[in-house]
Amino acid sequence: MMHTWFECKVRYEKLAENGMTKKVTEPYLVDALSFTEAEARIIEQVTPFISGEFTVTAITRAAYSETFFHDSGDRFFKCRIAFITLDDKSVKERKTKSNVLVQANTLQEAKDRLVESMKGTLADYSLEMVKETEIMDVYPYAPKEK
């Protein structure tokens, strides 16, 4: 199933550990068909968790070709993979880059989970980058139960 991911930034007042409230802007990832649907879905998802007012300050398309979720992970890592193919005419190596989102607890765990998830892939690839994102949570599309 193809996902169209949108990064939605939500601004609200959060209770800090010292008991004071401070304004924060946090990014979330939503699977939606359009910007309009992404906004509606993020409002629906965060409303139960945010007390008080909040605003969706930005929505941008996020280019993730694949997502690997692991319930035990509490962070999200952006990984860049370069798929290596041979150009038939010039016989030169060609790299096609792709971004993947991996849920894990540490950078090393994200790398290991990506390698594990890529097992069985026939294409040659190299892992070019693994970096932690600020994403708070990810909401894949799920059909509503009637």
In tens, the pLDDT along 100-133 reads 999 999 999 999 999 999 998 888 999 999 999 9
- Look at residue 108 and give its three-state secondary structure: helix
Among 39, 71, 34, 76, which residue's Cα sits nearest to residue 55? 39
Dist. CA 85–CA 124, nearest whole Å: 7
The model carries a pTM of 0.88
In tens, the pLDDT along 30-78 reads 999 999 999 999 999 999 999 889 999 999 999 999 999 998 999 999 9
- Look at residue 43 and give its three-state secondary structure: helix
Burial 11-50 (b: 16+ CB within 10 A, else e): ebebeeeeeeeeeeebbbbbbbeeeeebbebbeeebeeee
Cβ contact 8:30 at 8 Å? yes
